[in-house]
A and B are shown apart, each in its own frame.
Chain A
Amino acid sequence: MNSVILLAGARLQVILLLIFSAYMLLRGHNAPGGGFIGGLIAATGFVVYAIACGTADARKALRFDPGSIAGVGLGIALLAGIAASIFGDALFTGQWLFIGATEDDKGLPLSTVLVFDIGVYLVVLGAILSIAFSLEEAV
């Protein structure tokens, strides 16, 4: 797609969408958002990029094979679920760690649940890109 305007726009878009997707992912537990939505938005970003300057560049920009990203994502999500076993809980039992927790403030939460959501994010991102790119290349 040899469009100067789209290209210039796409650059901005990708940055904005990636930041926004991260934002949606991280706040998802407390407000609309989460792994799916984050992943979908990030994917949209790279799709824009692919449309603007071709899948080859988009793949380069992504650096990893989307399929593998998805695979790793599933692995991460699974490990987040299995992690519970270390603490003797059932599969997918959330394990929480609150950094600097005080009685009135929970502090900064780190949790397997978040890891799981990141896994979701990666799978959605990788899978959709793999689909979009391979289809784009087949046409």
Chain B
Amino acid sequence: MTSAEFLALSTYVTAVMVLLSLAIAFVRLFKGPSLADRVVALDQMTVTIIAVCGVVAIGTGVFALLDVALVLALVGFLATVALARFAERRDARQAQEDDDA
């Protein structure tokens, strides 16, 4: 096969792999059990989306998708931070309530 065909094939394979890793991460998200676990999974998925943008960009030659990747890299972690912070503060409050009780 020519190198171009090989590239096409590997792009396809990569796409499948990336999306597969999304699916796998989702399983953890599904299983949890702890809030932190889910946040980690979500974080992992966000990072993977960046990869997806890269692959699809190559597969379709659409530069614009790299902008999506850029934005995601910038703000993707905000959700993670917010949720982590929620967990932390909630636990803090629970502890507080326990003290009060």
Contacts and interface: CB of A to CB of B under 8 A. Distances in A.
Interface size grouping (class) on chain B: 10 to 19
Interface stretch (A40-48, A78-86, A98-106, A118-126): A40-48
A41 B64 contact: no
Nearest to A52: B81
A16 B74 contact: yes
Contact of B81 (A17, A20, A51): A51
B83 to A, nearest CB: 11
Contacts of B75: 17, 41, 44
A66 B60 CA distance: 41
B78 A47 contact: yes
A18 to B, nearest CB: 11
Contacts of A16: 74
B71 interface: yes
Judged by DSSP, the binding face of A is helix
A32 B74 contact: no
Interface residues of A, number: 15
Contact of B85 (A1, A13, A17, A32): A1
Given A6-B81, A51-B81, A31 B64 contact: yes
B74 A17 contact: yes
Interface of A: 1, 6, 13, 16-17, 20, 31-33, 37, 41, 44, 47-48, 51
Interface of B: 64, 67-68, 70-71, 74-75, 78, 81-82, 85
Q: What are the 4 tightest A-B residue pairs by CB atom distance, in nearest-first order?
A: A44-B75, A32-B67, A32-B64, A44-B78
13 contacts: A1-B85, A6-B81, A13-B74, A17-B74, A20-B74, A31-B64, A31-B67, A32-B64, A32-B67, A44-B74, A44-B75, A44-B78, A48-B81
Given A41-B75, A48-B78, A51-B81, 14 more contacts: A6-B81, A13-B74, A16-B74, A17-B75, A20-B74, A31-B64, A31-B67, A32-B68, A37-B71, A41-B71, A44-B78, A47-B78, A48-B81, A51-B85
